[in-house]
């Protein structure tokens, strides 16, 4: 049988032989062997790799043998044929027990920890007990709908329903209420939050979201084609973005607000993305092997990365454009066990539960992680440094940074740094107790937004918010102990204004030296800043208006800032948007796409060339200035910078990390400890720092530690605006920078006064935007996975995530006023939109495609509808208008509906019914928490149990679909 798809997609030939089905497409031949009962015994891929299966007489899957020899085993109980034991390829075992009704009652993990569950007479779980004996109780309405979650007799979540069983009021653990109103078609039309924020939703006749209205912003609009694909989105400013679609509803083109068109191409056998074409005609390409795996990745400028895989499809090698090869080996469970690079070997260790416990790098600096009985990290070691974490109660974390082991004899007075974080029941920070017992307290409004931060010694920062949930004001300074709310004595007053699309349009700042500055931002139709108009009495030397121009791909092509003419509109980029020239500076890159030199030309002077050295992981290992000053950089196996040093200057900095944030910086001069900077963050926002120096005013006096505590106030992007001492007095402020972070104010030694100048240079935390640490030696910013150049708004290397980090692989962010990239991987908006979690108003699980199979009769569908009605699930027939064109059935767990086309098959309906039953059994919160892969694995397990109901193609479809999800899960593309 030959199948021909639209425009050559999914063309295949199927041959149904005795005990074997052969599928031949453009990638090669796939063979499926099965026994007389229809159980799949063996799958052969086009590359010859084979997966085999074992079954018992009840058609239960007993074992799966992967092409590389990894074996997964399954055992079942005799009473109900339910899974009782799962043994992973590495021997780790999960055990499952059930009550007399066949309902799951216990799960035991490979470490021997057991979770228990009790169900009521309806089969609904009402009690969940952790291995530590902590109980979570669930309550339901008479209709079996989840109405409350309780832990330790405290209600964590409450849900009230209207007379149509639609969730009407959701009350969180803090008592904050979220209200939803519905239309006559059960669609949400108004949502109100606890802080007064409201969102109105409009829907078109086919139940697709057509408009959003938020308080304080413009209305957004959505338009669709007859298949339900989004054709156009209109933002709050009235700018329209459009999409075009091809066969199988694949997006083939996107046109942005400025009219620039991006195009997308796909593999015709797997529908995987293989090429993106930017508005300038450059291509980013993926080459696939006959199993659909990426074997070659070629970026916009022709830089190539090649990949190799084992028989199971796990990556074993990566080769860059310089032929530098990184080899990956895996353990029996498929986890990363070893990486071999030209620099050496890195090894990884795991515990019985699969948690990472150790990383051992080639330079001998190991990382170890320990966990408590609840699975929380309780200790990390980084070389000879240790951080301990203690959890005295559910809402408190105590972080203890221990001094270096090899320095305790030289600095016996240096004590551990103990910082206590306290959170409310919603997980929001409420208090920080710093070493020395200084306390910062955080007050929040009824929506959970921070409105006041103050120390017990006088510092305070007040924040105001608008109806859209955006910050509009900051006041920071001294808060006398006896003062009322209005008694704050501010050293900094800052106000923010936004346009109808939520972009920052103006910022006004008044500081304690009595001057005011105002900056207004003009944006293009893509939301990128084209002009900054600066005015006021607070402008320093070198400051003023700024202007910017962008090319069709969103990169800077012209810019000027204040009195600094940075670059003119010239030939700025080489292929792939690698910098070629910016003003009087020329750039060169190696074959791996990394900047290796930067040459500055000045009239009457020799060219000044700076050079950069990289390792095979694209980590900067060396910098040489134009004067020959050499700096060396070291990183741990996680890619975090742990040290930088300059032997000529006899200076060295070491970095201790708390996750992806730096917790401590130690500076050494002449091989002696000079200072310690202790940093406290909330996410990527600096809250406080403690700067310590060893001071010895006279040789006859013993050295003493002198510590100064400062509190930070940051702008919308996490950049520190000011540091205050404990009493609320300003101790440091940064000089003014351009939109992209270039310093504009001149240093004090030029003879020009700068009214903002640094008050205490040692207090400078060294931060630019969120996650960016400034390197004075090079003018660059270390941004976790990459280095950023503020002068051009560009990274020095391409995005390690490739297109997953965005189509502009060298650019920082689209708009630095409201976007950040704290890891140097992917930009995100600090001013989040409600669309982030509203989506299109529907949460749909389990879409299935068109397969030939048994059609259900009207009476069969009636019986299914009755069964679902008992679970509170509605079956909607002839639901073509609700479904995408490639699906005959779907389960919408947001609306608790199963949608069926007229000709839906048994397999397609069964798939969605399993989803609905699982959802009804465990509730929405747990169902969402499972993630897409776990939900589909559950469906596959149920299908395999009843596989005698389905044909070979349907079984193969179910298996292949889950395998595809597993690959995406390993790549981080699904949950």
Structure confidence at residue 923 (pLDDT): 78
Confidence of residue 234 (pLDDT cuts 50, 70, 90): very high
Percent of the chain with pLDDT over 90: 71
Least trusted range by pLDDT, from 294-298, 465-469, 525-529, 661-665: 465-469
Least trusted range by pLDDT, from 404-418, 640-654, 688-702, 746-760: 746-760
Confidence of residue 119 (pLDDT cuts 50, 70, 90): very high
Q: What is the mean pLDDT of residues 550-563?
A: 89
- Burial-class residue 11 by CB neighbours within 10 Å (0-12, 13-18, 19+): middle
Structure confidence at residue 852 (pLDDT): 54
Confidence of residue 488 (pLDDT cuts 50, 70, 90): confident
Structure confidence at residue 483 (pLDDT): 45
pLDDT at 961 over 70: yes
What average pLDDT does the structure give for the chain? Answer: 89
Structure confidence at residue 428 (pLDDT): 95
Lookup: tokens for 903: 């000709």
Instruction: Judge whether 30 and 46 are in contact, CB under 8 Å.
Output: yes
pLDDT at 628 over 80: yes
Lookup: tokens for 659: 């996750």
Structure confidence at residue 908 (pLDDT): 85
167-172 vs 104-108, strand pairing mode: unpaired
Tokens 């659909």 locate to: 292
Q: What is the mean pLDDT of residues 806-817?
A: 97
Dist CA 544 CA 917 (whole Å): 63
What is the DSSP code (8-state) at residue 759? Answer: S
Q: What is the mean pLDDT of residues 782-793?
A: 97
Structure confidence at residue 755 (pLDDT): 46
- pLDDT tens-place string over residues 843-882: 333 444 445 567 777 778 888 888 888 888 999 888 766 6
Structure confidence at residue 622 (pLDDT): 99
Q: What is the mean pLDDT of residues 86-114?
A: 95
Helix (H, G, I), strand (E, B) or coil at 83: strand
Structure confidence at residue 583 (pLDDT): 85
Structure confidence at residue 935 (pLDDT): 83
Between 404 and 948, residue with greater pLDDT: 404
Dist CA 664 CA 403 (whole Å): 10
Least trusted range by pLDDT, from 9-13, 133-137, 447-451, 749-753: 749-753
Q: What is the mean pLDDT of residues 189-207?
A: 91
Lookup: tokens for 248: 């199988």
> What's the residue count for the chain?
975
Cα 228 to Cα 69, 99, 151, 845, 848, distances in angstroms: 44, 44, 42, 16, 16
Residue 502 — φ and ψ, nearest 5°? 90, 10
CA atoms within 13 A on the CB side of 74: 18
Percent of the chain with pLDDT over 70: 91
Q: Where are the beta strands (DSSP E) in 414-555?
A: 417-423, 429-433, 439-444, 450-455, 459-465, 471-478, 489-498, 504-511, 516-523, 529-536, 546-550
Structure confidence at residue 196 (pLDDT): 80
Lookup: tokens for 777: 């030696």
Structure confidence at residue 26 (pLDDT): 94
Confidence of residue 830 (pLDDT cuts 50, 70, 90): low
Structure confidence at residue 844 (pLDDT): 37
Q: What is the mean pLDDT of residues 75-92?
A: 94
Between 251 and 407, residue with greater pLDDT: 251
pLDDT at 798 over 70: yes
Structure confidence at residue 975 (pLDDT): 62
Sheet-wide strand order for 889-892: 844-848, 889-892, 897-900, 874-876
Least trusted range by pLDDT, from 90-104, 499-513, 838-852: 838-852
pLDDT at 382 over 90: yes
- Burial-class residue 432 by CB neighbours within 10 Å (0-12, 13-18, 19+): buried
Residue 919's nearest CA partner among 146, 152, 79, 83 is 146
Contacts of 880 (CB under 8 A, 6+ apart): 901, 902
pLDDT at 351 over 90: yes
Confidence of residue 412 (pLDDT cuts 50, 70, 90): low
Between 383 and 957, residue with greater pLDDT: 383
pLDDT at 380 over 90: yes
Least trusted range by pLDDT, from 396-405, 630-639, 947-956, 962-971: 962-971
Confidence of residue 701 (pLDDT cuts 50, 70, 90): confident
Structure confidence at residue 509 (pLDDT): 95
Structure confidence at residue 569 (pLDDT): 58
Between 431 and 921, residue with greater pLDDT: 431
Between 868 and 302, residue with greater pLDDT: 302
Between 206 and 700, residue with greater pLDDT: 206
pLDDT at 833 over 50: no
């Amino acid at each position: 049988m030959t199948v021909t798809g639209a425009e050559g997609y999914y063309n295949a030939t199927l041959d149904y032989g005795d005990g074997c089905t052969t599928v031949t497409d453009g990638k090669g031949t796939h063979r499926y062997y099965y026994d007389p009962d229809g159980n799949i015994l063996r799958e052969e891929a086009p590359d010859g790799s084979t997966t085999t299966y074992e079954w018992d007489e009840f058609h239960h899957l007993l074992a799966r043998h992967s092409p590389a020899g990894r074996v997964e085993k399954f055992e079942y109980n005799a009473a109900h044929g339910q899974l009782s034991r799962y043994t992973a390829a590495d021997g780790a075992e999960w055990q499952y027990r059930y009550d007399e009704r066949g309902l799951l009652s216990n799960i035991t993990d490979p470490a021997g920890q057991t979770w228990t569950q009790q169900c009521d007479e309806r089969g609904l779980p009402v009690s969940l007990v952790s291995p530590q004996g902590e109980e979570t109780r669930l309550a339901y309405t008479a209709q079996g709908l989840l109405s409350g979650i309780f832990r330790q007799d405290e209600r964590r979540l409450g849900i009230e329903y209207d007379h149509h069983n639609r969730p009407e009021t959701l009350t969180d653990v803090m008592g904050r209420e979220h209200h939803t109103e519905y239309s006559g078609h059960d669609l949400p039309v108004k949502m109100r939050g606890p802080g007064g924020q409201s969102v109105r939703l409009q829907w078109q006749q086919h139940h697709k979201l057509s408009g959003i209205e938020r308080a304080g912003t413009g209305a957004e609009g959505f338009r669709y084609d007859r298949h339900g694909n989004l054709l156009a989105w209109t933002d709050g400013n009235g700018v329209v973005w459009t999409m075009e679609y091809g066969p199988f509803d694949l997006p083939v083109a996107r046109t942005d607000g400025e009219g620039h068109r991006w195009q997308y191409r796909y593999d015709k056998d797997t529908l995987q993305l293989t090429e993106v074409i930017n508005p300038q005609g450059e291509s980013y390409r993926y080459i696939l092997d006959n199993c659909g795996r990426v074997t070659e990745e070629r970026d916009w400028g022709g830089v190539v990365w090649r990949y190799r895989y084992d028989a199971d499809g796990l990556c074993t090698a990566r080769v860059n454009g310089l032929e530098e090869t990184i080899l990956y080996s895996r353990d029996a469970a498929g986890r990363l066990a070893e990486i071999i690079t030209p620099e050496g070997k890195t090894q990884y260790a795991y515990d019985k539960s699969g948690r990472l416990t150790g990383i051992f790098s080639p330079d001998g600096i190991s990382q170890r992680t320990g966990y408590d009985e609840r699975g929380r990290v309780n200790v990390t070691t980084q070389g000879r440094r240790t951080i301990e974490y203690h959890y005295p109660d559910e809402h408190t974390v105590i972080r203890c940074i221990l001094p270096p082991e090899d320095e305790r004899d030289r600095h016996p007075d240096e004590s551990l740094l103990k910082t206590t974080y306290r959170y409310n029941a919603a997980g929001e920070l409420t208090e920080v107790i710093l070493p020395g017992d200084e306390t910062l307290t955080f007050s929040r409004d009824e929506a959970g937004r921070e409105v006041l931060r103050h120390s017990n010694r006088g510092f305070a920062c007040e924040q105001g918010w608008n109806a859209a949930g955006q910050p509009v004001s900051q006041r920071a300074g001294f808060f006398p102990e006896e003062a009322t709310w209005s008694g704050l004595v501010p050293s900094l007053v800052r106000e923010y204004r936004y346009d109808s699309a939520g972009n920052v349009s103006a910022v006004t700042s008044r500081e304690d030296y009595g001057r005011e500055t105002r900056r207004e931002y003009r944006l293009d139709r893509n939301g990128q800043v084209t002009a900054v108009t600066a005015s006021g009495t607070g402008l320093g030397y070198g400051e003023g208006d700024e202007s910017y121009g962008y090319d069709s791909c969103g990169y800077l092509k012209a810019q000027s800032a204040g009195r600094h003419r940075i670059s003119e509109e010239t030939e700025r980029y080489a292929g792939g948007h690698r910098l070629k020239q910016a003003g009087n500076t020329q750039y060169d890159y190696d074959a791996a796409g990394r900047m290796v030199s930067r040459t500055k030309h000045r009239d009457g002077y020799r060219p000044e060339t700076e050079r950069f050295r990289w390792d095979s992981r694209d980590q900067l290992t060396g910098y040489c200035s134009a004067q020959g000053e050499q700096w060396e950089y070291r990183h741990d196996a996680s890619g975090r910078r742990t040290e930088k040093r300059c032997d000529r200057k006899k200076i060295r900095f070491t970095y201790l990390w708390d996750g992806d944030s730096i917790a401590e910086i130690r500076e050494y001069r002449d091989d002696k400890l000079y200072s310690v900077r202790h940093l406290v963050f909330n996410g990527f926002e600096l809250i406080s720092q403690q700067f310590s120096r060893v001071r010895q005013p006279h040789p006859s006096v013993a050295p003493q530690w002198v510590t100064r505590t400062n509190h930070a106030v940051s702008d919308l992007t996490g950049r520190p605006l000011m540091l205050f001492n404990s009493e609320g007095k300003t101790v440091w402020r940064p000089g003014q920078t351009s939109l992209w972070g270039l310093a504009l104010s001149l240093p004090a030694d030029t003879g020009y006064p700068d009214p903002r100048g640094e008050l205490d240079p040692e207090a400078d935390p060294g931060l630019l935007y969120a996650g960016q640490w400034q390197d004075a030696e090079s003018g660059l910013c270390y941004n976790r996975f990459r280095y950023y150049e503020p002068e051009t708004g560009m990274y020095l290397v391409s995005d390690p995530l490739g297109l997953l980090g965005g189509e502009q692989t060298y650019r920082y962010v689209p708009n630095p006023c409201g976007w950040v990239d704290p890891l140097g991987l992917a930009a995100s908006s600090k001013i989040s939109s409600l669309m982030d979690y509203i989506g299109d108003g529907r949460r749909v699980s389990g879409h299935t495609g068109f397969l030939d199979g048994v059609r259900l009769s009207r009476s069969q569908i009636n019986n299914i509808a009755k069964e679902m009605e008992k679970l509170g699930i509605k079956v909607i027939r002839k639901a073509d208008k609700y479904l995408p064109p490639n699906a005959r059935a779907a389960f919408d767990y947001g609306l608790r509906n199963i949608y069926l086309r007229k000709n839906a098959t048994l397999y397609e309906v069964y798939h969605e019914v399993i989803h609905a039953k699982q959802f009804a059994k465990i509730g929405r919160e747990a169902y969402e928490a499972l993630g897409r892969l776990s939900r589909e694995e559950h469906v596959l397990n149920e299908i395999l149990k009843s596989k005698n109901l389905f044909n070979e193609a349907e079984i193969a479809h179910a298996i292949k679909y889950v395998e595809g999800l597993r690959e995406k899960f390993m790549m981080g593309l699904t949950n």
